[in-house]
């Protein structure tokens, strides 16, 4: 039994402990050593995740490189790991993005004497605990980078877990480090009220996701009780899905629907799906740019991934029953998120609402229940992660220079910082799914797959593309073109460290837009297996048939 998956999960977890235990950053040299240690750990994790992806055989078994360690025997809980094509790709995405986030956030945890932070600014409401004194003192740098590694470890476990209970534990546990990253290390460009706003955003993020987790916990327990009554006292996902597919484990119609809704509710909150999305603009707006990328490009992907692995695998009939309703919610999210993005005055909140629209496309592709739709949805998770990370991180570089998130405070940036403006343009074009860039491929597949089964929804969803062009290009026009505003005149261009962050993301966005085959080869077998679990095949295309007078077809 290989321990490769365990190692991939354990390295960032151990790195988080090591980083937190390093000597306090009382000097610049010590802070630099802390950052270098965390970055090195994330690089090792990237290498391991890449090895996992390359060792996965698309023609082999559904779950590969499997490991299983006994945990709670009396309840049939094992620490079981196994990777399919979708999990391998998303874990690799996580491992790629974390070093980029660290480099982009290199100075985000450095103490700023001009801003004592939420812990020193007086009462901040019910969320004031989000920023304990230690985050504003000598151990601030250690805490920040340790929390990022902790998030990475928990997300990777979630993508590899093949035990339902293990997945649930890490699905919920990742909320804690994210809570502290938002509340304790939030964006300082929000003005004098930023401490309260950060605390509010952190608490809202935590409460929404905890509520979803509690509902899911009830469904997990319900699934175990029903399975145990029928002789399957286990949380092992392959065992449960196989028993359900073979008819050995039978769920009544009402029970299956209730359990499906319990799982789906938690995943829809994390994804986020309209109308459970309202925590996201607050969280992304008040977090640092790097933390915002962790939220939307890493943590939120666990929700959409789990819809594929758990909702469709465990509850195939309920998935088909609720698919039309979910598609309507996804469609509303696409249009609603895009419309609100058009009207935003805050750069980071605009990116947040754009992400809500994009997640609508991902969920629509999943529940269209076609191979094109689900392949497109999986690619969309990856491509959205890359393009939104580039867009948000460049926006963060822009905001850090000007000290404002307001679009109106910018203008003429391309004249003083052309490289920054150019990379921001590429991120904007990727967001609107320009052909030749990665998001175009996935969005096209999602629309084709949806149209094949639900043509009306597919047609209406195309308006999301039009609106994306509107908000992305308007943002670029208002910030980068026109006369140079006073606060922008002395703005420096991207530095070497910042270019090292953006260049790989831009390169991957272009490469996967031109040649997505390596990803599709990995994910398509898992997509086909998922469709077989819900007993669905792609709709046959309708071809006009001309008949001869003798009844023969031409």
Terminal-to-terminal C-alpha distance of the chain = 58
DSSP state letters, 209-221: HHHHHHHHHHHHH
11 vs 538, higher pLDDT:
11
**pLDDT-derived band at 130, boundaries 50, 70, 90:** very low
Residue-wise pLDDT for 320-352, tens only, equals 999 999 999 999 999 999 999 998 999 999 999
21: Cβ contacts below 8 Å, ≥ 6 apart? 142
- Give the pLDDT score at 188: 62
Question: How far, in Å, are 34, 43, 112, 118, 177 from residue 140 at the CA level?
Answer: 11, 22, 11, 13, 14
Q: Could you tell me what percent of the chain has a pLDDT over 70?
A: 90
Instruction: Evaluate if residue 305 carries a pLDDT over 70.
Output: yes
Q: What is the CA radius of gyration of the chain?
A: 23
Instruction: Evaluate if residue 137 carries a pLDDT over 60.
Output: no
The count of residues in the chain is: 554
Taking residue 550's Cβ as centre, other Cβ atoms within 10 Å add up to 5
- Give the pLDDT score at 280: 92
- Give the pLDDT score at 21: 85
Instruction: Evaluate if residue 371 carries a pLDDT over 90.
Output: no
Q: Which of 324-333, 439-448, 525-534 is least confident?
A: 525-534
> What token pair was written down for 3?
């321990």
- Give the pLDDT score at 1: 59
- Give the pLDDT score at 550: 45
**pLDDT-derived band at 402, boundaries 50, 70, 90:** confident
361: Cβ contacts below 8 Å, ≥ 6 apart? 330, 334, 377, 380, 442, 443, 446, 461, 464
CB 405 within 8 A of CB 474: no
Vertex 362 angle, CA 360 and 368, to 5°: 95
Residue-wise pLDDT for 53-78, tens only, equals 999 998 888 899 989 888 888 888 88
- Give the pLDDT score at 363: 94
141 vs 115, higher pLDDT:
141
Residue-wise pLDDT for 190-224, tens only, equals 555 677 888 888 899 999 999 999 999 999 999 99
CB 362 within 8 A of CB 384: yes
CB 94 within 8 A of CB 23: no
Question: How far, in Å, are 42, 117, 288, 349 from residue 186 at the CA level?
Answer: 22, 9, 5, 14
Preceding peptide of 272 cis, ω within 30°: yes
- Give the pLDDT score at 120: 32
The alpha carbon of 412 is separated from its chain's Cα centroid by a whole number of angstroms, namely 32
Residue-wise pLDDT for 21-54, tens only, equals 888 766 787 888 889 999 999 999 999 999 999 9
Instruction: Evaluate if residue 159 carries a pLDDT over 50.
Output: yes
Residue-wise pLDDT for 80-124, tens only, equals 999 999 999 999 999 999 999 999 988 887 754 334 333 333 333
* Type and span of the H or E element at 175: helix 175-184
- Give the pLDDT score at 195: 73
What whole-number distance in Å separates Cα of residue 151 and Cα of residue 143? 12
Mean per-residue pLDDT, 437-453: 92
Instruction: Evaluate if residue 477 carries a pLDDT over 60.
Output: yes
247 vs 506, higher pLDDT:
506
Q: Which of 122-126, 189-193, 461-465 is least confident?
A: 122-126
CB 77 within 8 A of CB 71: yes
> Directed axis angle between helix 371-402 and helix 517-533, to 10°?
130
- Give the pLDDT score at 62: 87
Mean per-residue pLDDT, 416-443: 92
Question: How far, in Å, are 289, 379, 406, 413 from residue 189 at the CA level?
Answer: 11, 33, 10, 18
Instruction: Evaluate if residue 8 carries a pLDDT over 90.
Output: yes
């Amino acid at each position: 039994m290989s321990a490769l998956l365990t190692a991939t999960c354990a390295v960032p977890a151990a790195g988080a402990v090591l980083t937190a235990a390093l000597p306090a950053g009382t000097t610049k040299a010590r802070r630099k050593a802390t950052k270098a240690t965390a970055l090195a750990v994330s690089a090792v994790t990237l290498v391991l995740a890449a090895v996992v992806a390359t060792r996965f055989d698309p023609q082999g078994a559904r779950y590969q490189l499997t490991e299983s360690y006994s945990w709670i025997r009396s309840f049939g809980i094992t620490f079981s790991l196994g990777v399919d094509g979708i999990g391998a790709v998303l874990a690799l995405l996580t491992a790629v993005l974390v070093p980029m986030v660290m480099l982009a956030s290199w100075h985000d945890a450095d103490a700023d004497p001009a801003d004592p932070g939420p812990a020193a600014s007086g009462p901040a409401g019910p969320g004031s605990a989000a920023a304990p004194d230690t985050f504003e003192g000598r151990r601030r740098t250690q805490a920040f980078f340790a929390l990022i590694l902790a998030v990475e470890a928990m997300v990777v476990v979630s993508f590899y877990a093949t035990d339902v209970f293990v997945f649930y534990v890490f699905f919920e546990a990742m909320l804690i480090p994210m809570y502290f990253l938002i509340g304790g290390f939030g964006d300082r460009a929000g003005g004098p009220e930023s401490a309260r706003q950060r605390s509010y955003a952190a608490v809202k993020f935590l409460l929404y996701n905890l509520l979803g987790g509690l509902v899911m916990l009830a469904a997990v327990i319900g699934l175990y009780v029903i399975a145990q009554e029928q002789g399957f006292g286990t949380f092992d996902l392959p065992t449960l899905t196989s028993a359900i597919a073979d008819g050995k484990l039978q769920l009544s119609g009402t029970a299956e629907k209730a359990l499906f809704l319990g799982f789906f509710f938690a995943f829809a909150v994390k994804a986020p799906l309209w109308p459970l999305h309202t925590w996201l603009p607050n969280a992304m707006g008040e977090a640092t740019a790097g933390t915002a990328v962790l939220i939307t490009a890493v943590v939120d992907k666990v929700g959409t991934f789990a819809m594929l692995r758990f909702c469709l695998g465990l509850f195939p009939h309920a998935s088909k029953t609720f698919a039309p309703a979910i598609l309507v919610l996804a469609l509303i999210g696409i249009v609603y998120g895009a419309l609100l993005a058009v009207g935003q005055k805050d750069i980071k909140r605009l990116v947040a609402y754009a992400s809500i629209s994009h997640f609508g496309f991902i969920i629509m592709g999943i529940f269209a229940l076609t191979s094109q739709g689900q392949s497109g949805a999986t690619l969309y998770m990856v491509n959205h992660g890359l393009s939104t990370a580039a867009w948000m991180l460049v926006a963060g570089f822009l905001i850090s220079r000007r000290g404002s998130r307001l679009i109106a405070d910018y203008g003429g940036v391309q004249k003083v910082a052309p490289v920054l403006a150019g990379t921001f343009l590429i991120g904007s074009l990727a967001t609107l799914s320009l052909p030749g860039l990665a998001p175009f491929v996935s969005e096209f597949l999602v629309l084709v797959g949806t149209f094949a089964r639900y043509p009306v929804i597919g047609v209406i969803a195309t308006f999301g593309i039009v609106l994306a062009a509107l908000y992305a290009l308007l943002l670029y026009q208002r910030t980068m073109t026109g006369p140079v505003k006073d606060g922008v005149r002395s703005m420096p261009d991207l530095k070497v460290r910042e270019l090292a962050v953006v260049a790989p993301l831009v390169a991957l966005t272009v490469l996967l837009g031109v040649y997505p085959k390596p990803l599709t080869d990995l994910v398509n077998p898992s997509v086909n297996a998922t469709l077989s679990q819900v007993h669905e095949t792609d709709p046959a295309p309708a071809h006009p048939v001309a008949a001869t007078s003798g009844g023969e077809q031409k």
